[in-house]
Structure 1
């Protein structure tokens, strides 16, 4: 499969077991796309975002979370949806704290990350990671608006809308 435009998603019951399944899913998708250079970072970011989504739901019966991986331009996007409104925050903890550093890891490993709160409810927390081996745009020039770069320029809005549309059927 060509990795350009590749998309894969998984819907999970919001239980602690979902985190391990999300890691397996991310690794399988990246291997099938031939994106193994980014595998460790993507698996860790997906794990942290799914952990936060599962915790946000309170692991209540019937609640679901979803994870979507998507290639757009020179980036890979990890998008995690849950049905709980709110904005996750990066915690600034003491050095001896035993947890709570998930978003610090996400911040350190990604180009950028953010939150989309769709009108239909819940939230999508997304993260962008660079794809190794995809050429940079020409130096000093504006990248051509071909399929590989057009997707990147529109990613902020389009990726959230597509993720939301795909997940509305939950």
Structure 2
């Protein structure tokens, strides 16, 4: 499992893409690289937009194996729930969650106890090397959402303490 906490600015999207690509390369899971990078990019873009691109706000992204699947999980503090839109052919945005739905086995939203929301997508990884998935229990998105929200809460607490 790898995770990254980012400032909710547009630059976070590029960093999330780099993070996802680096993680997959380090795990030797390059067959799914393009799909995972695209899903991470779309989910982080939505999280940054939902938080209003404010320097004091954070988003977090986590990549996690569960059996033969990889979860891309993105946390933000915004209250709204994302919805897949059916954009017109000439629209310049609004296709992100449709792309996620097309690439993922399933996707959804969780509300962790620590606050905010986690939007997750499960991507199949049939070619995952056995050592990466052998002893990983197939824990669902609620498990990952709680972990990611706890990390984001700790990050916010550290930032507040540093400001004192």
Fold shared per TM-score above 0.5 = yes
Q: Tell whether 2:147 aligns with 1:147.
A: no
Contact 2:113 2:146 in 1 (8 A): no
Q: Distance in 2 between matches of 1:118 and 1:159?
A: 9
1:107-147 Cα distance to aligned partner (Å, 9 max, x none):
00000011011233211001000113249xxxxxxxxxx73
Aligned position for 1:105:
99
Q: Report deviation, 1:156.
A: 3.5
Q: Distance in 2 between matches of 1:21 and 1:93?
A: 26
In structure 2, stretches of 5+ residues that fail to align are: 156-164
Match of 1:87 among 61, 72, 81: 81
Q: Give the TM-score taking structure 2 as reference length.
A: 0.86
1:30-57 Cα distance to aligned partner (Å, 9 max, x none):
0000000000000000000000000001
Match of 2:4 among 10, 15, 19: 10
Contact 1:116 1:160 in 2 (8 A): yes
Q: Give the TM-score taking structure 1 as reference length.
A: 0.83
In structure 1, stretches of 5+ residues that fail to align are: 1-6, 136-145
Figure out how many residues of one structure are paired with residues of the other and give that number: 151
Q: Distance in 1 between matches of 2:97 and 2:56?
A: 26
Aligned position for 2:142:
157
Q: Distance in 2 between matches of 1:32 and 1:162?
A: 22
1:7-26 Cα distance to aligned partner (Å, 9 max, x none):
10111111101100100000
- Looking at CA atoms only, which structure, 1 or 2, has the larger radius of gyration? 1
